[in-house]
Amino acid sequence: MTDLLVSQHWFFWMTLIPLGAAVAAFLIPAQARWIGLATALVLPFFALAGIAATLITEGQPITGGGWPTPLGIELRRDGLALVMLAITALVGLIISCYAIGYFPARGHHHSRTRYFWPLWLFLWGGCNALFISADLFNLYVTLELVTLASVTLIALEGGKAALTAALRYLFIGLFGSLAYLLGVAVFYGAYATVDLTLLGEMLTGSRLDHAAMALMIAGLVLKSALFPLHFWLPQAHAMAPAPVSAVLSALVIKAAYIVLLRLWFEVFPSLDTIAVGHLLGLLGTVAIVFGSLLALRQERLKLLIAYSTVAQIGYLFLVFPLARNDTMATAWVGGVLLMMSHACGKAAMFMVAGTIHHTAGSDRISRLAGAGGPIGVLVVVFTLAATTIIGLPPSGGFFSKWLFINAALVTGQWWYLPVILSGTLLAAAYIARVLGWAFLDVKRSSYPVIPWVMKWPPLVLALIALVFGLIAYEPVQIALLGAPVSGPLLIGVRP
Amino acid sequence: MTIPVLYAGSGILLFFIGLHALLIRRHLLRKIIAANIMGSGVFMVFIALGARGDSAVADPVPQVMVLTGIVVSLCFTAVAIALAVRIHNLTDCTTLAADEESSID
């Protein structure tokens, strides 16, 4: 039994199954939703099996086809890949269930149903491939897979606004990845390798290295929509159908961020990164405040959630200035924890927003006035999911912010403290604004009945996001397997 | 200045020419062509840096990478042209319109 568990290459299958299923779903459109659902049901088990196998073998890297490293393509089985595969499998399963209800098999939106499933499965396979990639060029190719699938998913709605948002996202994505690729070319020209570990050992810190680093960081920052390069995100995320918005906000943004996280801690440490870290921290700070303020001003629920994503991305970039010698593990774990809890919380919020749009016929926040009956349930689910965005205990968002604050205090960067606190306050404000409308005492006409698959799956994710802080210890331990960071996890700080 | 450096320099120049056009030009086809020029510039840098001097045999790995890169850029161009044609059919407009908030309800 153990031999079987260890001998299987679960992560190959986690990439190949969605890609194969995508082709199948494209060729047999009538069965596309069932192919998609079956894939979504299988992948979490593969993720669990992969985690178990890695815990037994202690995460040795594997190479494609068993060829030795320079020829074979190396795949990572470290903790970061494991937890991201698992959280993607979980969020993907819930989104797939929701999409069954959102995209009906019959009706005038037939073509949307037909194309959603292949594209979503392609995107899923691309994400899984990205998480286990261990060299710069593979990261580029998988990032492009993810971008291409998301562009077409944004265009799924077919209207003018959606097409424009998709094309703008395509240009942005292309620019970002070409800048990244130029950096890869410079590194390859200088060191003749694209392997992350080898490159990290070989970097000499020349000017050319710093130029390549700047290009790669700029490209990835653009792709992960950090302020001031966030301008494309709200339109793209708000125009897409609800399951697509959930996927984009929960997973696609993280794809570029994961690449940056890997580069920062594995390739760039020997370069002079302190100034760059401060710059990223500053941009993150502005993103938190500015994104939250804009979220507060939005009239439409989906745009509000999209701007809230802009703010949450800001938190993710606080990892870079906060990760110093002693606090490296603390900041890194804070970032990983935030990625996971944000993925659950934000996916649930977008799905709820989609259901409200579907039910009330509009996603204007003012239309929520006097929400009761079916919408009342949804507002409760929305609030549960929002706890992790605000950062209330015991959500995962709370613990990651706690870790960030500890790291900020230990490294003496106290100015991040008011930033995190004001971000929390503003998040509470924009969530409270939604609730304020929802609990107005107004009589409303009755709403159509919502199919249960559009109501309960978001609740599952919202609950997971809510209690994530309580169950986070095990995932964090798994994430630290083979992590490029060391040092204690600072839970409590004495001044 | 050796020949590979000359090629790499021209590649970087192409990248920035394309970037300039991508940001400045409004016509969608021009933007798509600009993105392609940027891509070609990056590929040229790859190939030039893989030459490894006059005597040695050129490194094949960058050429393989560029092949993959060309496939990726072909896919992107195809999708971009499809989207541009669709936008043109819907709006009779060949530019990215300025953002209109709440255009659908």
| CB proximity A164 to B under 8 Å | yes
| CB proximity A189 to B under 8 Å | yes
Residue A292 has, within 13 A of its CA and on its CB side, a CA count of 25
ipTM above 0.95, yes or no: no
| Contacts of residue A241, Cβ cutoff 8 Å, sequence gap at least 6 | A102, A103, A112, A116, A156, A157, A354
Closest of B45, B41, B44, B49 to residue B17, by C-alpha: B41
Strands (E), A51-198: 62-63, 74-75
The tokens describing A372, both together, are 């009761």
For A109-119, letters b (16+ CB in 10 Å) and e give: beebbbbbbbb
Question: Interhelix angle for A373-390 vs A396-410, to 10°?
Answer: 20
DSSP letter, residue A374: H
Using CA atoms, how far apart are residues A295 and A427, in angstroms rounded to an integer? 8
Instruction: Name every chain B residue with its beta carbon within 8 A of the beta carbon of A155.
Output: 83, 86
Using CA atoms, how far apart are residues A152 and A335, in angstroms rounded to an integer? 29
Sign of the alpha-carbon dihedral angle for A273, A311, A460, A358: negative
Q: Are B49 and A188 in contact (CB under 8 A)?
A: yes
Contact A161 B28 (CB under 8 A): no
Report phi then psi at A6, rounded to 5: -80, -35
Q: Are A313 and A224 in contact (CB under 8 A)?
A: yes
Contact A163 B80 (CB under 8 A): no
Q: What is the pLDDT along chain A (495 residues), one digit of tens a residue?
A: 567 666 667 888 889 999 999 999 999 988 888 999 999 999 999 999 888 888 887 656 666 566 666 666 778 878 898 899 999 999 999 999 999 888 877 666 677 778 899 999 999 999 999 998 888 999 999 999 999 999 999 998 888 888 998 999 999 999 999 999 999 999 998 888 888 888 888 888 888 899 999 999 999 999 998 888 888 888 888 888 899 999 999 999 999 999 999 999 998 888 878 899 999 999 999 999 999 999 999 888 999 999 999 999 999 999 999 988 888 889 999 999 999 999 999 999 999 988 888 887 777 888 777 666 667 788 888 889 999 999 888 888 899 999 999 999 988 888 999 999 999 999 999 999 888 887 777 766 666 777 777 888 889 999 998 888 888 888 888 888 878 887 777 776 554
| Contacts of residue A407, Cβ cutoff 8 Å, sequence gap at least 6 | A322, A323, A324, A327, A330, A331, A334, A490
> How many C-beta atoms surround the C-beta of residue B27 within 10 A?
13
Q: Are A382 and A349 in contact (CB under 8 A)?
A: yes
Of B31, B86, B87, the CB nearest to A171: B31
Using CA atoms, how far apart are residues A266 and A201, in angstroms rounded to an integer? 9
Q: How remote is the C-alpha of A115 from its chain's centroid?
A: 22
Does the bond joining A228 to the residue before it have cis omega, within 30 degrees of 0? Answer: yes
Contact B83 A163 (CB under 8 A): yes
Report phi then psi at A229, rounded to 5: -100, 25
Q: pTM of the entire structure?
A: 0.92
| CB proximity A463 to B under 8 Å | no
The tokens describing A11, both together, are 């992560």
CA torsion A187→B39→A167→A20, rounded to 10°? -70
Cα angle for residues A413, A417, A422 (degrees, 5° grid): 145
Give me the amino acid identity at A268: F
Q: Are A93 and A45 in contact (CB under 8 A)?
A: no
Place of tokens 């979220």: A295
Q: Is A347 exposed, middle or buried (0-12, 13-18, 19+ CB in 10 A)?
A: buried
Gap from A155 CA to chain B (nearest CA, Å): 8
Of A140, A185, A300, the CB nearest to B45: A185
